[in-house]
Chains A and B, each alone.
Chain A
Amino acid sequence: NAGVTQTPKFRVLKTGQSMTLLCAQDMNHEYMYWYRQDPGMGLRLIHYSVGEGTTAKGEVPDGYNVSRLKKQNFLLGLESAAPSQTSVYFCASKSSGANVLTFGAGSRLTVL
């Protein structure tokens, strides 16, 4: 049982480039989330989804887009990367009847 898998684990981008982070979960969870973690700021919610085909904005959505075309996958896109988006990104999921979030191992993104 893999849980929550994030790809890639590391990526370096130049300012203005685009990329997509993939999150896949095999637990049949309805809810999925993307957080970013920055030193001294905890984890901040970027976007989330309460089910296949639905997405919603979190605390810090600007500069990011998401899609949930399949229940098991939640994609986070950066259309034009900026140095301020240098961060560690975490995907998480949970079932609709529970409160416990299962997190992936993170994706470290550096924007030069």
Chain B
Amino acid sequence: QQQVKQSPQSLIVQKGGISIINCAYENTAFDYFPWYQQFPGKGPALLIAIRPDVSEKKEGRFTISFNKSAKQFSLHIMDSQPGDSATYFCAASMETSGSRLTFGEGTQLTVNP
């Protein structure tokens, strides 16, 4: 049973455009929501994260929007660049679970030049 659902599975965006990836979760006990970025042949690396006490967090071109009532959160990449082409994973965890992350299915983003 997938507790974190991610969409779309793949996304193609033109350089300079906005990339939007969405995630929905089921467990209301989740209290930490990170996004990980993975380049081919590499392990995932933390990109940005949010806690449910805020509705938005921005770091450079990357923004997380969080909707607690809808149990949804999304990643927005502004001014997308070819170097952003990677697989993106949303995830969620509970402080009391040993910080075990439950990952979404992943989104393969391609930014065309």
Query: CB within 8 Å of B: which residues of A?
Result: 4, 31, 33, 35, 40-45, 48, 50, 56, 58-59, 90, 92, 94, 99-101, 103-106
Interface residue B49 (Cβ < 8 Å from any Cβ of A): yes
Number of CB contacts from chain A to chain B under 8 A: 55
Q: A56 to B98, Cβ gap below 8 A?
A: yes
Helix, strand, loop or mixed for chain A's interface? strand
Q: B44 to A99, Cβ gap below 8 A?
A: no
Closest Cβ of chain B to A40, distance in Å, is 6
- The complex places the Cα of A92 from the Cα of B93 at a distance, in Å, of 15
Query: Assuming A40-B105, A42-B105, is B44 touching A90 (CB within 8 A)?
Result: yes
Closest Cβ of chain B to A103, distance in Å, is 3
- The complex places the Cα of A82 from the Cα of B44 at a distance, in Å, of 26
Which residues, 8 to 29 on B, are CB-close (under 8 Å) to A? 9
- The complex places the Cα of A48 from the Cα of B44 at a distance, in Å, of 17
Interface residue B42 (Cβ < 8 Å from any Cβ of A): yes
- The complex places the Cα of A41 from the Cα of B5 at a distance, in Å, of 10
Q: B100 to A42, Cβ gap below 8 A?
A: no
